Structure 1
Amino acid sequence: MLSLISVMAAPETAGAAGSTTGSMMTTFVTFGLIIVIFYFLIIRPQRKKDKETKEMLSSIKKGDKVVSIGGIHGTVVAVKETTVVVKVDDNTRMEFSRNAISSIINRKGDGATASSKKKSKKEEQVSAPEESVEAPVEEVSAEAEKKDK
């Protein structure tokens, strides 16, 4: 009778061992998918942003208008190996670490960066409707003056 019970229990243990390997496999696949998702949503974009920032900091030159991470606006007067001297006011010059420069607003030779060009295009689009609204108002006021005379 004892052997009968052990024979009946043997298939259950074999099935249980197979299900644990299956559940371990799904666990590994799930963790693998999570790692891939994190790579594409977090790690890869951060590396791209770091690379762009490094290129921007290495391309700073005299005459560029920059903004520091503290929000200070100024013009680059001198570029050293690890620091940048920024002219903030007529007689005020500040020396910043290169890493403290947040962005370059205007390049000396280029005139404006791509983000500045986008902003100026938006300003032109916004200013265009204002001009068309103002013109009829002047015409109406001129017609009103003619009627008053």
Structure 2
Amino acid sequence: MLKVYLSGEIHTDWRESVKSACKGLKIDWSGPVTDHAASDDCGVEIFGAEPDKFWHDRKGAALNAIRTRRGIEGCDVLVVCFGEKYKQWNAAFDAGYAAALGKPIIVLQPDDHDHALKEVDAAANAVARTPDQVARALRYVLTGTL
């Protein structure tokens, strides 16, 4: 069983594309909360409202960090996706954390992000352009077949 943490952007269905292409493989998937509102508001929903947006966001980020750290520390491979819509600073942080832990990393990014992500890519074991390439890489890692 390969434990794969799917990190990165939450605005497209890339996770479902990777999972679908990996059907039949023994993979235990995990990742962040992908409901954007729940992820943003979890801290104030649980610990109380904050009038200052900084502290509102800080409460949520700190709580989400528990899930993220646990997931990255427990995974065998981190797949991190950098999408088009927003700059995913959290995804870059996740990649850096995984690299510091010595975790294998597969980056999924469009080619126009190559320059901006050159340091992340240098720490990664593989850089993919499509969810299908990620799935093929995971299939190869698990089975040794193309």
Q: Give the TM-score of the pair, scaled to structure 2.
A: 0.23
Q: Give the TM-score of the pair, scaled to structure 1.
A: 0.22
Q: Could you say which structure has the larger radius of gyration?
A: 1
